[in-house]
Amino acid sequence: MNITVTLFAQMIAFVAMIWLVNRFLWAPLSSMMEARRQRIADGLSASERGKHELKLAEERAVQIIKEAKEKATELLAQANSRSTEILDEARNSAKAEAERVIAGAQAEIGREVERAKQELSKQVSVLAVTGAERILGREVDAKVHEASIADLVARI
């Protein structure tokens, strides 16, 4: 029970034990546990990141759908207005064409009337001259009475 050299032997043994425990038990296990801690932390942060990314993707999807809807509405409105425009254009051009045709026809009618009038007046003048020759019994020089005939024709 006395303190002997055993004390020093046990001290050496103790120091050796600390070294061995550190070398074979503490160091490998604690580094492994640290690695595990790291792995768990990484996994958790990865899942957190995944969640965040999912949220972002969802938001983006919603945004895209919204934009698509807006675009569709816009396109629809555009198409509507364009169709109205086309319709108007067609109507206008049809109207214009119709007016043009009518105007042409009227002009033609006018011209025909004029020509008929001229023809008529020519014939009337001939008729008048002929009539007058018959009445007078002699030839009337149309050239001499040209002025009076023209006056007559103009009065028809």
Partner 1 sequence: MSAVENTGGGTVEYIQHHLTNWSVGQGFWTLNLDTIIVSLLLGSLIVFAGMRVGRNLEVGAPSGFQNFVEMVLEFVDTQVKDSFGKRDNALIAPLALTILVWVWLMNFMDLIPVDLIPAALHAVGMDYFKVVPTTDLNTTMAMALFVFLLTVYYNIKVKGLVGYIKMFLFHPFGKFLVPVNIVMTAIEELAKPISLGLRLFGNMFAGELVFLLIALLTFGATISAALLIWFPLQVVLDVAWLIFHILVITLQAFIFMVLTIVYLGMAHITEDEH
CA 53/CA 63 separation, integer angstroms? 15
Residue type at position 52: H
Q: Tell me the torsion sign for CA atoms 49, 52, 57, 63.
A: negative
If the CB atoms of residues 30 and 92 are measured against partner 1, the closer one turns out to be 30
If the CB atoms of residues 39 and 111 are measured against partner 1, the closer one turns out to be 39
Phi-psi map region of 137: left, alpha, beta (phi>0 left; psi -120 to 50 alpha): left
Binding span for partner 1 by CB under 8 A among 24-32, 71-79, 98-106, 125-133: 24-32
How many residues form the binding site for partner 1 (CB under 8 A)? Answer: 32
Choosing from 39, 66, 71, 95, the residue that interacts with partner 1 (CB under 8 A) is: 39
6 binding partner 1? (CB under 8 A): yes
7 binding partner 1? (CB under 8 A): yes
